[in-house]
Amino acid sequence: MEWTAMELNPEMLNLLMKSLGVNESWRFVDVVGLESEQLSAVPKPCCSLMLLFPLTQQHETFRKQQADKIAEDSGVYFLKQTASNSCGTIALLHAVANNKGKFAFASGSVLEKFLNETANMSPEDRAKHLENNKTIFDAHNEVASQGQCRPAADKVNFHFITFVNVNGQLYEFDGRVNGPVKHGSTSDESFIMDAAKVCHGFMEREQGEVRFSSVALCQS
């Protein structure tokens, strides 16, 4: 099954959440910038920050140096990415799974069923389970096909990651690495500022690169 590349677009992510049976008490909103003044405009409470960035050689080199920050933590839900272009849905799964108690799910929710089925699986087995879930695959492709941008095959690949506060710790969830990355303590009040600091690191490593964007998952 071939996954369609998805834009980082709040409307599309909200549509995907709805189609997977997540009630609309939390919604994605645009984050227009990562400076303090811009972040202060993001509605509170905010439970996840999602970043879209280009995959470059600098980034790949940085990831190899970061192995010691990978957390072996059974208290978080982590899912490996094994299907190309599925990172948008995987970022959404990480955001919802690690905030599951905050959400209400519709009766028969596909996403709630998936999270329950995979709760005790390894990250690799969760990835296999996702690849075999045609309902989530179809929902992803239906939403992704509505995007305005069509990335060409020879262009830079872009990637989604998610930041979440889990039990007072700031975690970065990237399905391309072997586990969640722990960035230290945070709180509900400081979460978005703390996550933005990590995002600034991504931007500073890519001198001259401006193709970054972010959205936040906030209570509506």
Give catalytic residues, as residue numbers: 87, 159
Count H helices and E strands in the chain, helices first: 8, 6
Residue 6: closest CA among 202, 145, 153, 168 = 145
What ranges in 87-190 are assigned the alpha helix state H? 87-97, 110-118, 123-131, 134-144
Using N-to-C axis directions, what is the helix angle for 110-118 and 123-131, rounded to 10°? 140
Question: Using CB atoms within 10 A of its CB, is residue 169 exposed (0-12), middle (13-18) or buried (19+)?
Answer: middle
What are the C-alpha distances in Å from 191 to residues 14, 42, 173, 181, 195?
A: 21, 12, 15, 15, 6
Structure tokens at 195: 């996550």
Residue with tokens 């980034």: 59
DSSP string computed for 131-158:
HT-HHHHHHHHHHHTT-S----TTSPPE
Structure tokens at 100: 């599951």
